[in-house]
């Protein structure tokens, strides 16, 4: 009887995977650690490879049209390199692009930290390259950089600065940029309404803290900031970011360390935010997308997380109701590094690795 009950419980918790009607095709050939992309027109996008190369890729053919010159020099090692590229919300007029990357900083004992630079894309070259942010988070090895960026509805730039792995406790202290979301103006200056701007013990760029390795960042039409971050073993989570809030890492977490050791037995504390959703065991989320395209009307308004460990994509409805998660594209059996919606509503997946591919999902 008990076995039957146990069996029934097991049956009831099976996640339902509904096969959707879609086609997967490869776009172009192989790419070297494709990490992020940004459409600069209907038929072209910039592709950032972790190695430090920025390429102009034709969306129709997948061919590399040009290698962008004058890209800042990066430290390509471990998880470090040219991580994220985004374009200005008025790119058509400004041609401004923003890049996040790891590099050595002479001002911080020549250690590695997260840099953000802006530049003008003229033809296939970057001009007026200017570093607008250097994280005060020096580290020996470029681990857990975060390095995601998004432009908020008020025109400021939000940057994810990860906890550096070995410096996790610093995520709780406001005198550094480990484990922080950072908000700056597009010229690198600090917005006057940042939450800690009047706190002399805090760095003024900090927007929120208590983060680990943030890998997903997006803003919806209402201006809500969605973020997801890697936990270690367990503890991958989705949050909505608000200024000045503490998201708890590493004091609270639904996780244990990679080594199996406890990081914290606590999962909640007053003054620390709870995730909207968390995964245990980890899926290792990478990219983040809020789908609004016409190609898949049934998916409009849903969140998509590409995932490395689970080698698939998770579609999650924003009400986070039970059974709101669907596993997609697991047939690729690949670590999915990032996910984007193309201008025509099709979905692009960046598959991880030095032999990486770009896959186009269409009806």
Compute the radius of gyration of the chain from its Cα atoms.
20
Is 223 an interacting residue with respect to another protein (CB under 8 A)?
no
Question: Catalytic annotation on 144?
Answer: yes
Enumerate residues 276-315 that contact another protein by CB under 8 A.
280-281
Shortest distance, CB of residue 123 to another protein, whole angstroms?
A: 38
Residue 225's H or E segment, with its range, is strand 225-230
Edge-to-edge strands, sheet with 64-67: 34-41, 44-49, 54-58, 64-67
Q: Is residue 104 at the binding interface for another protein, with CB under 8 A as the rule?
A: no
Which among 49-57, 65-73, 250-258, 346-354 is the span making contact with another protein, rule CB under 8 A?
A: 250-258
What torsion do the CA atoms of 61, 66, 70, 76 make, to the nearest 10 degrees? 50
Which 3 state secondary structure label does DSSP give 6? helix
Q: Which position among 60, 109, 110, 259 is part of the footprint of another protein (CB under 8 A)?
A: 259
Instruction: Note whether 258 binds another protein by CB under 8 A.
Output: yes
- Interface pick for another protein out of 149, 256, 305, 347 (rule CB under 8 A): 256
Least distance CB 95 / another protein (angstroms): 37
Give yes or no for residue 324 binding another protein (CB under 8 A): no
User: Measured from the CB of residue 260, what is the shortest distance to another protein in angstroms?
Assistant: 3
Give the rounded distance of the alpha carbon of 345 from its chain centre.
Answer: 20
Q: Considering the complex, state which of residue 45 and residue 247 has its C-beta at the smaller distance from another protein.
A: 247
In the complex, the smallest distance separating the C-beta of residue 256 from another protein, rounded to whole angstroms, is 7
Question: Does 108 contact another protein by CB under 8 A?
Answer: no
User: Rule CB under 8 A: is residue 234 a binding residue for another protein?
Assistant: yes
**Which residue, among 133, 146, 36, 130, has the nearest Cα to 80 in the 3D structure?**
146
Nearest distance, CB of residue 170 and another protein, angstroms:
11
Selected from 58, 108, 111, 264, the binder of another protein by CB under 8 A is 264
Under the criterion CB under 8 A, does residue 353 sit at the interface with another protein? no
Bridge partners, residue 343, by sequence: none
Query: Exposed, middle or buried, 253 (CB in 10 Å: 0-12/13-18/19+)?
Result: buried
For 302, the 3-state DSSP assignment is coil
Three-class SS of residue 271? coil
Binding status of residue 321 toward another protein by CB under 8 A: no
DSSP conformation class of 233: B
Rounded-to-integer distance, Cα 217 and Cα 198, Å = 26
* Beta strands, E only, 32-171: 34-41, 44-49, 54-58, 64-67, 82-87, 96-105, 111-122, 125-134, 146-151, 157-161
Taking alpha carbons only, the member of 90, 88, 74 closest to residue 151 is: 88
Residue 125 binding another protein, by CB under 8 A: no
- Binding string to another protein for residues 13 to 42, with x set by CB under 8 A, is what? x-x---------------------------
Compute how many residues bind another protein; rule: CB under 8 A: 36
Residue 134 CB, nearest approach to another protein (Å): 21
Which C-beta is closer to another protein: that of 252 or that of 339?
A: 252
Minimal distance, residue 164 CB to another protein, in Å: 9
- For 11, counting Cβ atoms within 10 Å of its Cβ (0-12 exposed, 13-18 middle, 19+ buried), the class is exposed
Interface characters, 145-184, with another protein (x: CB under 8 A): --------------------xx--x--x------------
**DSSP string for 331-363:** GG-S-EEEEEE-TTS-EEEEEPSTTEEEEEEE-
Q: And the tokens for 20?
A: 């959707």
Q: Segment contacting another protein (CB under 8 A): 6-14, 35-43, 108-116, 336-344?
A: 6-14
Give the residue numbers marked as catalytic: 144
Chain residues that interact with another protein, rule: CB under 8 A: 2-5, 7, 9-10, 12-13, 15, 77-78, 141, 143, 165-166, 169, 172, 234, 251, 254, 256-266, 269, 280-281, 322
């Amino acid at each position: 009887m008990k076995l039957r009950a146990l069996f029934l419980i097991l049956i009831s918790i099976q996640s339902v995977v509904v096969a959707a009607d879609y086609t997967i095709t490869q776009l172009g050939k192989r790419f070297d650690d494709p990490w992020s992309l940004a459409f600069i027109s209907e038929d072209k996008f910039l592709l950032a490879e972790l190695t430090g190369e920025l390429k102009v890729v034709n969306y129709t053919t997948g061919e590399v049209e040009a290698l962008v010159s004058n890209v800042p020099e990066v430290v390509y090692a471990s998880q470090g390199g040219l991580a994220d590229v985004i374009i200005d919300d008025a790119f058509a007029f400004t041609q401004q692009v923003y890049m996040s990357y790891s590099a050595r900083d002479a001002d911080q004992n020549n250690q590695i930290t997260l840099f953000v630079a802006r530049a003008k894309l003229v033809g296939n070259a970057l001009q007026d390259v200017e570093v607008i942010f250097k994280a005060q988070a020096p580290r020996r090895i470029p681990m857990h950089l975060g390095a995601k960026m998004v432009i908020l509805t008020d025109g400021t730039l939000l940057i994810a600065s990860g906890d550096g792995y070995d410096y996790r406790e610093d995520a709780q202290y406001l005198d550094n940029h480990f484990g922080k979301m950072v908000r700056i103006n597009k010229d690198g200056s600090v917005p006057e309404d940042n939450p800690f701007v009047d706190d002399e013990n805090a760095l003024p760029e900090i927007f929120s803290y208590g983060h680990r390795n943030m890998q997903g960042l997006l803003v919806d039409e209402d201006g809500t900031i969605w973020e997801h971050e890697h936990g270690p073993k367990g503890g991958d989570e989705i949050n909505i970011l608000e200024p000045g809030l503490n998201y708890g890492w590493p004091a609270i977490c639904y996780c244990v360390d990679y080594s199996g050791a406890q990081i914290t037995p606590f999962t909640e504390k007053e003054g620390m935010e709870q995730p909207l959703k968390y995964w245990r065991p980890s899926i290792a989320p990478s990219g983040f997308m809020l789908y609004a395209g016409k190609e898949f009307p049934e998916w409009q308004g849903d969140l998509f997380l590409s995932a490395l460990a689970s080698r698939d994509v998770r579609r999650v409805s924003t009400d986070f109701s039970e059974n709101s998660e669907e596993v997609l594209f697991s047939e690729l059996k690949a670590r999915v590094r990032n996910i984007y919606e193309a201008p025509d509503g099709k979905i692009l997946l960046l598959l991880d690795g030095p032999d990486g591919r770009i896959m186009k999902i269409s009806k």
